[in-house]
Amino acid sequence: MCILFCWSEENIIIMYSLEHHEDLSDRFCVMRKQEDSIYMKSDYLSQLNSIYLLNPLDNIPIDKECRYKMAMWFFQVVEYCDFNKEIASISMSYLDRFLSTKEGTLVLYDRRDFQLAAMVCLELAVKMNEPKELDMNVLSELSKGSYSLIELTKMEKNILSALNWRMCPLTASSFVSYLLELLPHNVPFSVKEKIEYFTWLQIELSIKDYCFVVYKPSIIALASIFNAIDLLNYFRLSPKVRQSFHRNIILLVGIDPTDFLSQEVGKKLKELVKSISIPNFNSLGDFHCVLSQKKNYHDIYPSSPKSVSGMIQS
């Protein structure tokens, strides 16, 4: 028999199954341990800069702009091939984690190798998560022959080895679905849908920005959700509902949404959002129209991915 938590909010009874809460709590516990250990990333560019200044090399090392361009290319390919958007997030997780390893360090000093590693990370993400593969021959064609099949295959082995075959990374997106389950049950579905939309928008922007590499996916996900809630002004009309959501987050996830780190990430995400045009939804119909047309901020992506040949090399 399930035990229920009950809160009275504006004459509505909100009920949560204790068993369901315990299941979510266990999931969050495991996920947070993994993001703190086997799926950790480092601020590899800051380490690179200090080493390069002491020992300049002939090759030009990568920078934030290089990473941004490859992230954009990830989204172009994902959009063009109609892959799940999470593929771009997983690809970037592979790449960031690979560059954080000893084996990936050398790639930081060679833009050609960095581009090769990025392409292979996308190929691996598709191979692990999509029913159809992104064939090595296709990658070679996208590079206009810059990389041979031998080079692509060798890099794939290097990445798999460096990551110890841990190919199911935790991303901010993977936290979002569970976090949204903690919203009080009396929040209308239409509001939840909008919260999810604006949350994913921020996460997608954060994937392309290197400054978010040092932040845990759980913090990015949580900050994105609360930014989305603030954007909709929903909880300002119902402070008690916001309090119950806060309580659920603290008790089950173990993160205080009001702590300094969450607030810091939230502010950075808001700055990113300012750089794009946010649709003004006057009605739910307007919102569904935007979703169905697949326009909004994806307008920045070309209709088809361009060749990666020479994108970041100089």
> What residues does 17 pair with on adjacent strands?
4
Same-domain pairing of 127 and 158: yes
> Would you state the torsion angle of the CA atoms of residues 13, 18, 19, 25, taken in this order, to the nearest 10 degrees?
110
User: 223, 214, 222, 213: which is closest to 271 by C-alpha?
Assistant: 223
**Contacts by 257-262, CB closer than 8 A, 24 or more apart:** 257/222, 257/226, 261/215, 261/219, 262/219, 262/222, 262/223, 262/226
> Is there a single domain that holds both residue 198 and residue 132?
no
Q: What are phi and psi of 17, to 5 degrees?
A: -75, 130
**Cα–chain center distance at 17:** 29
Check pLDDT > 90 for residue 282: no
Domain carrying residue 163: 44-168
| Same domain? 162 vs 196 | no
Res 244 pLDDT > 80: yes
Tell me, what's the pLDDT at 139? 80
Average pLDDT over residues 238-249: 83
**pLDDT number for residue 215:** 96
Examine the fold and report which residue of 125, 144, 168 is the final residue of a domain before the chain moves on.
168
Number of domains forming the structure of the chain: 2
What pTM was estimated for this model as a whole? 0.82
The CATH number of the domain holding residue 257 is 1.10.472.10
Tell me the β-bridge partners of 240: none
Residues 6+ apart with CB under 8 A from 228: 194, 195, 196, 197, 198, 199, 202
Is residue 39 situated within a structural domain?
A: no
Task: With cut-offs at 50, 70 and 90, classify the pLDDT of residue 231.
Answer: confident
Please say whether the dihedral angle defined by the alpha carbons of residues 234, 239, 243 and 246, taken in this order, is positive or negative.
Answer: positive
One domain, residues 90 and 195: no
Return the pLDDT at 278: 63
Assess if residue 153 is contained within a domain.
Answer: yes
